[in-house]
A and B are shown apart, each in its own frame.
Chain A
């Protein structure tokens, strides 16, 4: 099956700096990944997704990079703002499993 995890449970960055949140997965057949943001007391919200035929995808202030060779993806947030403070999850889908498998999350704290 799919195993999706995150490298660091917590990350602190200064306001205005760029944030990089990393995620690793185990199933080389994984073909779709999503990053979610979860604020305290709320459900996860979609940030950005990427399919395995892409290496990079950009959104508004966010970029996801996918390295299939080492089975690693990252979420980059430019000019991090206080409103970016949240838990970030990566989720993967692939192989015979057609349901998302979530990592354990990284708590991002933006320092003033």
Chain B
């Protein structure tokens, strides 16, 4: 019953540092997504993947990179963190775009 698991849950970075957020799903879903959530702005899509080995840009991709080397994992990387990337990050997965997306519990990232 794990569903979608995100690690870490919290992180504080200094400006310019790099980090990778890990998302793992055990539902054999093809589609995986990374969103960021900022106060009053809902969820905005950063990058997504339609299958192992594929990635695509979403609405706000700048400053982020992703990789989907294994079907169950979707990694989000920040090469040089900026204060504007302070946010809560959510990973999600779905069988198809037109089916329910399951979300992880989120990663709260603060860049100082």
Contact = CB atoms under 8 A, between A and B. Distances in A.
Given A99-B33, A99-B48, A99-B58, A46 B101 contact: yes
Interface of A is mostly: strand
7 contacts: A9-B40, A45-B103, A46-B101, A93-B97, A93-B98, A101-B59, A102-B35
Interface of A: 9, 31-32, 34, 36, 41-46, 49, 51, 89, 91, 93, 98-105
Interface of B: 4, 33, 35, 40-45, 48, 58-59, 90, 92, 97-98, 100-106
Name the 7 nearest CB pairs between A and B, nearest first.
Answer: A43-B103, A102-B42, A102-B43, A104-B42, A98-B97, A46-B100, A32-B98
Nearest to A5: B42
Contacts of A89: 42-43
